[in-house]
Structure 1
Amino acid sequence: MTYTFDIIGVTPIPKFVQFQHQFAKKPDRSKTYLGSYECSLDGLISATKMIPHKPNWDWDQVLEEIINFWVQSEESIQHWKKQLYTVREESLLVARVANSEALRQEFETLWQE
């Protein structure tokens, strides 16, 4: 399996918790979201342990993808660190991890309907 990882934004904590609670009910989902109080590699790796109803993925590979992103995306990381720092309310950095094959199959079903 291959995975993708990207930081997608900053959001208030209650909004993320509500979204994650509704979204995590799907055990066969193609993607999941991570929320971290800090824009750091350690914070995002720790966030993988907080996912409710974790998908049955190769989490070592997921962690490898997160690390690869961190090594290769300095400009993006600095942007999101700044965004998280400038928000005045209690907020989280939000990232998305996707199972590439499951996501591809999900998109293909859209064209079949």
Structure 2
Amino acid sequence: MSGDNGTGNPEALRAEIRQTRAELGETVQALAAKADVKARIKGSAAQTRERVLQRAGQTTTTVRSTVHDAGSVALRNPVPWAVIAAGALALTIVVLVVRGRRG
């Protein structure tokens, strides 16, 4: 039995074996990563956490902007707020008068 395995070029065969071993090592690493469920769940949880934090930040910015805009409108046009306050006061007076008549 010859050392060249019938190819006639032992060095080429060794190079092919080295390449196959490297590819096999990469395949084994990829399969091990897929089989590591705990690490995959942690990675997925971290991604979800980052998405939630990013969306929360965007929502906070939107709410702040909306509140600021509403406050600006109220300061520029205080009449509607005065009407609402007067209506609430009138309702309170009516409720107190009705209760006073019952008692």
What is the TM-score with the length of structure 1 in the denominator? Answer: 0.26
TM-score (norm 2): 0.28
Of Structure 1 and Structure 2, the greater helix share is in 2
Q: Which has the higher strand share?
A: 1
